[in-house]
């Protein structure tokens, strides 16, 4: 949590930071845990260093809240956005609250408009795991399986294949120039390999 604390953009609200970090630290989580949050924050910093422009405050807050609620249900992004709206009101401007909530909801589809610089940055950082090297990608898929331990193998494989096929058919996985250059090729290769392994 100490490393995560360095990326929290509201120094006057450490209690909220710790509440959100504790949600990610729930031992029932597999992939969507504090390591995932740290990776998204690191990738946002990488995009910034590469010259990708975005509004730092709402994007960082959206990164913190984007999986704050995660229990495998379909409306987790909506509930995460609602938490952000409630928790951030009075800490930041109403415009920032609205932008954070919008960005959190966007992570359900990862389909920002081309001119949505904040959405493009957050979406790319969130999906950057798809471009991970072999060992890290294998750890990611193992962690995803852990989150769906309540499903039998056949059901999980079918659902996972549907998710990957949806990604594979997108015209592009990443939206910023840097992410397309650095991550698009490795990500597509990983997705295709996993689909083959699933027999899809």
In the 3-class helix/strand/coil scheme, how is 40-91 assigned residue by residue? HHHHHHHHHHCCCCCCHHHHHHHHHHCCCCCCCCCCHHHHHHHHHHHHHECC
- Residue 199 is predicted with a pLDDT of 87
Q: Is the model's pLDDT at 2 over the cut of 80? A: no
Tell me the Cα Rg of the chain. Answer: 16
* CA–CA separation, 76 and 69 (whole Å): 6
Q: What is the pLDDT of residues 39-93, one digit of tens each?
A: 999 999 999 999 999 999 999 999 999 999 998 777 999 999 999 999 999 999 9
Q: Are 88 and 96 in contact (CB under 8 A)?
A: yes
Compute the average pLDDT of residues 11-24. Answer: 96
The domain in which residue 139 lies consists of 2-198
Over residues 91-125, the pLDDT tens digits come to: 999 999 999 999 999 999 999 999 999 999 999 99
Count of domains forming the chain: 1
Nearest to 56 by CA among 47, 124, 104: 47
For 195, residues 6+ apart whose C-beta sits below 8 A from its C-beta are 161, 164, 165, 168
Residue 76 and residue 115 in contact, taking contact as beta carbons nearer than 8 Å: no
Q: What is residue 1's predicted lDDT score, i.e. its pLDDT? A: 43
CATH number of domain containing 191: 1.10.3210.10
User: Mind listing the pLDDT tens digit for each residue in 165-179?
Assistant: 999 999 999 999 999
pLDDT at 36: 94
pLDDT of residue 200 exceeding 80, the answer is no
Q: How far apart are CA 179 and CA 185, in angstroms?
A: 10
pLDDT digits (tens, 9 = 90+) for 128-179: 999 999 899 999 999 999 988 889 999 999 999 999 999 999 999 999 999 9
Mean pLDDT of the 186-196 span: 97
């Amino acid at each position: 949590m100490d490393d995560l604390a360095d990326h929290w953009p509201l120094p006057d609200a450490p209690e909220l930071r710790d509440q959100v970090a504790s949600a990610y630290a729930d031992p029932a989580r597999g992939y969507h845990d504090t390591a995932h949050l740290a990776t998204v924050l690191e990738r946002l910093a990488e995009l910034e260093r590469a010259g990708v422009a975005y509004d730092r405050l709402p994007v960082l807050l959206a990164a913190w809240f984007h999986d704050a609620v995660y229990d495998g249900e379909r409306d987790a992004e909506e509930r995460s956005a609602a938490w952000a709206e409630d928790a951030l009101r009075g800490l930041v401007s109403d415009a920032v609250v609205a932008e954070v909530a919008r960005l959190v909801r966007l992570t359900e589809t990862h389909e920002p408009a081309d001119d949505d610089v904040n959405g493009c940055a957050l979406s790319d950082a969130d999906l950057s795991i798809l471009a991970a090297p072999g060992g890290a990608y294998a750890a990611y898929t193992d962690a995803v399986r852990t989150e769906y331990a309540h499903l039998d193998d056949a059901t999980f494989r079918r659902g996972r294949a549907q998710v990957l096929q949806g990604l594979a058919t997108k015209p592009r996985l990443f939206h910023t120039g840097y992410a397309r250059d650095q991550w698009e090729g490795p990500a597509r290769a990983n997705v295709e390999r996993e689909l083959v392994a699933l027999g899809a």
